[in-house]
Amino acid sequence: MKKYNSLNGLRAIAAIGIVLMHVRANFDVGVAHHFIYTNVIAKMSDFVFLFMMISAFSLCCGYYDKFKNGTITPNKFYKRRYSRILPFFSVLVILSIIIPHSPNKVAVARAPLQFLGDSGFSPYIERVFEGFTELTLSYGLLPNPSMSIMGVGWFLGVIFVFYMLFPFFIFMIDNKRRSWYSFIVVNILCFITISYFYSDKFISFNAIPKNIIYNAPFFVLGGILFLHRELIERIVCKNHLISLSACIIFSAAYFLWADTKMSYSGVVIICLVMGCWLVFAIGSNSKLLHNPTIDYLGNISMEIYLSHMLSFRIVKMLNLSDFIHQVDILYWLSCFMTLLVAIAFSHLVKYYFIAKLQLITKRK
């Protein structure tokens, strides 16, 4: 199967964008309310859906034909999924259980019997329960998978439910005609879910996009683009500049005017904008999305995404606001340092700790 190197560029951009958004959302000092922060950075939370499209496309590249031909067993498929995700994720979950998110939680953890939550358990025991559940990677099956250990891990929960359903996903996109029928069906179901099922009649918590049905259009669109990859390559190759211009125009409109918060129209807009970039990446081998630096970041993009909030908490411990009083400089320096710590942590854990652990395991 051909390698689509430009996908690494999209992964890297998505990861960096999500870091910028989360630092802004958790920035204690506050940032100016102008266009860059409110329209551009705030909307970078939607880049997580680009990750989903890329995941579907990439998984099809590796396993679509194997599942259809019966040349891979469920045991091999899921073993590879767990070995790809669980080691790094386990390190983060364990560290997040041990290290409180804020100083006031230290006192709570030290006096477990005096501070019982609504569940009847101490905050520390609650964190252990949630951490164990997250380590199963099946928490996306919960009715309200809002975890406090790894808040950003909700994405991983959705992704793993997608992995669980992948054989059925192959059935859904068995051929081009059925893939389009499936896309129509999941969009209708997504609309009904947002408009009808996200209500007190069915659920008693705030509607949030952590549901596999809500995210189904992004996965199926990734599968559709996989089936049309050869046509996409021919068109984009012949019209490279036009394709890039379309991506820029759609993105500009998205950042200027689009409102994608918890609405079906938002799902459609995200499919259009992110799908446009994925189409460009499939048919392009541009240095914009494929160069040594961007490839390196793309290869650890999942690790950066998972570890960046832990990295941000480490940066906050430096109390940079005591030395830097210009808010914009403080924000961008915090973003840079958070990204730097996340990259260093991801590299060390993935390429040294986990690699050596796997090497020892193989020897045994």
* 272: Cβ contacts below 8 Å, ≥ 6 apart: 250
Give 197-208 as a DSSP string. Answer: ISSTTT-SS---
Verdict on whether the full-model pTM lies above 0.75:
yes
Domain ranges of the chain: 6-363
C-alpha 251/C-alpha 234 separation (Å) is 23
In this model, does residue 22 exceed pLDDT 50?
yes
Indicate whether 314 pLDDT > 90: yes
Interval 32-61 mean pLDDT: 91
At 113 the pLDDT is 47
- Among the residue ranges 2-16, 186-200, 309-323, the one predicted with the least confidence is 186-200
In percent, how much of the chain has pLDDT > 70?
90
Please give the pLDDT value at position 100.
61
Per-residue DSSP letter, 249: H
Q: What pLDDT digit, counting tens, does each position of 24-35 carry?
A: 988 877 766 778
Distance CA 250, CA 140 (A): 31
Angle between helices 355-363 and 74-98 (to 10 degrees): 130
